[in-house]
Chain A
Amino acid sequence: MNSKRPDEMSTRDLTIALVGNPNAGKTTIFNALTGLRQKVGNYPGITVERKAGTFFSQHGEKLTLIDLPGTYSLSARSPDEAVTRDALMSHSAQLDHPDLVILVLDASNLARHLYLATQVIELRMPCILALNMMDVARNAGIVIDNEKLESLLGVPVVLMDASRNQGMTELKIGISRVLNQGNPAKEYESPQHMALPSQIGTLLDQRIPEAEKLGLCQSGNGILRLLYLVSHHDSEHFGFNPEQLSFVRQVKNELTALEAGWEDRLVSNRYDWIETIVEKTVRRGEVISDSAVTTDRIDRWLLHPVLGWMILAGMLFSMFFLIFSFAQIPMGMIESLMSWLRDQVVNLMPAGDLRDLLTDGVLSGMEGIVIFLPQILILFFFISIMEETGYMARVAFLMDRLMGRVGLNGKSFVPLLSSYACAVPGVMAARTIENPKDRLITILVAPLASCSARLPVYLLMIAAMVPEEQMSIWVKVGLMFLMYFLGTFGAFAFAWIFRHFLAKGQASPMLLELPPYRMPRWKSVGLFLWERAQIFIRRAGTIILGLTILMWAATTWPKFPESQSGNPPTDAQKLEYSLAGRLGKIIEPVVSPLGYDWKIGIGLLTSFAAREVFVSTMAVIYSVEESDDEAITRKQVRDKLAMETRDGTPDGPPLYTPLVCLGIMVFYVFAMQCLSTVAVVKRETGGWKWPIFQIVYMTATAYVMALLVFQIGRALGFS
């Protein structure tokens, strides 16, 4: 089965998997082979999604290449590590089962990287050892006898320097050789495997029939698969049914009863064996490599007890400054492009429902979304640079203690920071957190970080508060800062509450590698941003556009009956008569304690799908009211909000008072209004329980906070 030849395979292409520690250079090799460029991260565990591509062997065969998540051991500690373990141990008929594994090792740190490599070799799969980063190793005076290594491990060894594209041809030749000649690793019998203490081996052997019955292992590498399943430290094993889980726990308890430190023994045995290999094959120079010296020099500044924090704060400050100032230029361009488009439609089409649909529904809705693409891209640009250079791991190092105070750990910082752009990648980034409780808390509070979808709401409300000329830029920046602070404070406060009442216990320790610094690869930064932009536009083009059109229809129909008196109905009457108007009236009692009228109520309702829909809903509601007008720009929406009065008469008290605007902003800080986030939380937590909990706790907080702002504010005499 292991020596499948391409001509025997009719159902699928041969699959090759890249396996290695984080930062070993897997993704670089993946990019070089497939040409399908994708993200090369420096933060441990950045490759959390399944990444596949195709390439052609030396003989022109089409091969599938999978980039499996980086891991230090087959004893998985987190869901993304479990992905790697399960792909390697899957049944040979399964989709991702590799026909060949490329083990990527950092040649400058061979002993530690051989730990995972020997585990995989023992599974008796066809393997190739790719010794990457040979340049760094040579620079540090390390000499490796690769032929000796090859004969000791029984697998082909290829020397590489993937970042300089060296060794690719040798790797491809090695791939063809193994695929055509079968599995050399078959003959390899590691002393480690035999040194599996006999009691442990016997016990596992006895449990195998039951494990097979439960579908936990297949014949073949049963004993090792069972071993790695049992040594998974995640108490809520992903994808296990209750019977399997209780079986795994039972076997674990039995092993612990047999020998409390059985796992430690296995690790020590393996390292003993690895050290004998390293002794025979590696001559260590006592030189410190250039990159280690440079990294230490940089870290003296970036991890400095005082300066390190100031640099981090400065970075975040300049990031948000760019988001709010520099982004105005491309945003203005998008704005004028959209209004030009709208003018074209108005000129070309006869007046009527269809034209209104295009201008007031589709285009107004699209503009409200696309307008803040520049801001999202700036945020992702910073995040991507931090990951590329290796600074992200330092940020986790700096933040660990602080996050520990509220029951999170340093690794929670990356998901939370990503959540300021968008909670969806933020929630997904939480996969790298080993401890399930820490992961759950991080996921639960991540949407409290003020994501970019809230920005247009904040911007619109700040603009609506007082006429533009009367507010200095500092007040605006201050208000914005206040909203971000509220969200951040809320996230920490709820993390603390959840840690104490929901997921009791200590935050788990953070094990993090601080990789050497390196220059960002601009190409992969660019491609990452391109990917993000596409995802965002697609979202704007589907969910949000659909809702906008629905909104437009709900505000248009049913149409106000032509009155007999001959007076044409006013716009306000038309809106009130429509479906949206009626719905808004129904929920008005709920939102009126917050100082909102039924129109804002509609906005809140529609933005439960996505926050930014609030702005486009307002655009649609108010442009419907004045449908004779053409070309409604954002500015005009803002002006209309300013003119809106509480009783609907031109001289009545204004509806959008500073207090009401502040209340709306506070509501949006806390409310869970995003279908995409709900979907991703459901996927990541494996059920509806947590997303529903999240919707309830966040929206309740939002309501209470907005109520407090409005009622206390009014009691204090503000309007």
Chain B
Amino acid sequence: MSHWIESFTRQFGIGVPLSLIRIVVKQYLSDLADGVPARIKDMPTGQPNLVRLREMGLLPGTRVHIVRRNVLGDPLEVAVRGSFLSVRKSDASQIEVELT
């Protein structure tokens, strides 16, 4: 999302820096480029799928990165607490992250 906005603004010669966009636009786990370390900022509550992800250690504050993704971008292989989980994009797109 942020990258998209950055390139979009650059087309109009404005060139808003990426770091500035990131402050305004929320970043989600599914947006992360492979291998970029991040920290989970927030995730919605009351959703059964996400409860199991929490139980497996994906919680606000946890450090994560995406190892790789399947062709078509789904599912994602996520590294968390020393193990590797396959997470669907639809779940990952609800998990808000911040870069570390």
Contacts and interface: CB of A to CB of B under 8 A. Distances in A.
A195 to B, nearest CB: 15
Contacts of B71: 305-306, 309, 401
Contacts of B87: 509, 511
A309 B52 CA distance: 29
Nearest to B62: A271
Contact of B52 (A72, A261, A292): A72
Contacts of A263: 45-46, 51
Contacts of B60: 268
B22 interface: no
B67 A296 contact: yes
Given A73-B55, A261-B45, A513 B77 contact: no
A112 B57 contact: yes
Nearest to B78: A514
A401 B75 CA distance: 7
B57 A261 contact: no
B81 interface: yes
Contact of B86 (A77, A233, A400): A400
Chain B interface size, as a band, is: 20 to 34
B88 A510 contact: yes
Contact of A271 (B59, B82, B83): B59
Give the one of B60, B71, B74 with max A CB within 10 A: B71
Contacts of A109: 81-83
Contacts of A108: 82
B81 A111 contact: yes
A264 B45 contact: yes
B84 interface: yes
A267 B90 CA distance: 21
Nearest to A108: B82
Interface in A58-115: 72-73, 75, 77, 108-109, 111-112, 115
Contacts of B74: 400-401, 404
Contacts of A261: 45-46
Nearest to A116: B55
A222 B22 CA distance: 48
A140 B59 CA distance: 23
A591 B47 CA distance: 53
B85 interface: yes
B36 interface: no
Interface residues of A, number: 44
A508 B49 contact: yes
Interface string A487-516: 000000000000000000000111111100
B57 A410 contact: no
For chain A, what secondary structure do more than half of its interface residues adopt (helix, strand, loop), or is it mixed? Answer: helix
- Interface secondary structure of B, over-half rule: mixed
A233 B46 CA distance: 12
B53 interface: yes
Contacts of A398: 70
A112 B52 contact: no
Contact of B70 (A233, A397, A509): A397
Interface in A303-349: 303, 305-306, 309
Nearest to B87: A511
A234 to B, nearest CB: 10
Given A263-B51, A267-B51, A511-B52, A397 B72 contact: no
A625 interface: no
A108 B81 CA distance: 9
Best-buried of B68, B70, B87 by chain A (most CB within 10 Å):
B70
Given A305-B71, A401-B75, A514 B84 contact: yes
A509 B54 contact: no
B23 to A, nearest CB: 26
A256 B47 CA distance: 11
Given A112-B81, A400-B86, A72 B55 contact: yes
B51 A264 contact: yes
B56 A72 contact: yes
B50 interface: yes
Interface of A: 72-73, 75, 77, 108-109, 111-112, 115, 140, 233, 256, 260-261, 263-265, 267-268, 271, 292, 295-296, 299, 303, 305-306, 309, 393, 396-398, 400-401, 404, 410, 434, 508-514
Given A271-B54, A400-B70, A401-B72, 14 more contacts: A72-B52, A112-B56, A115-B55, A263-B45, A267-B54, A268-B54, A396-B86, A397-B86, A401-B70, A508-B49, A509-B49, A509-B87, A510-B86, A513-B86
- Top 5 A-B residue pairs of the complex, sorted by shortest distance between their CB atoms: A261-B45, A264-B45, A512-B86, A260-B46, A509-B88
20 contacts: A109-B83, A233-B52, A256-B46, A260-B45, A264-B46, A267-B51, A267-B55, A295-B84, A296-B67, A306-B71, A396-B86, A400-B70, A400-B74, A401-B75, A509-B49, A510-B88, A512-B86, A513-B83, A514-B84, A514-B86
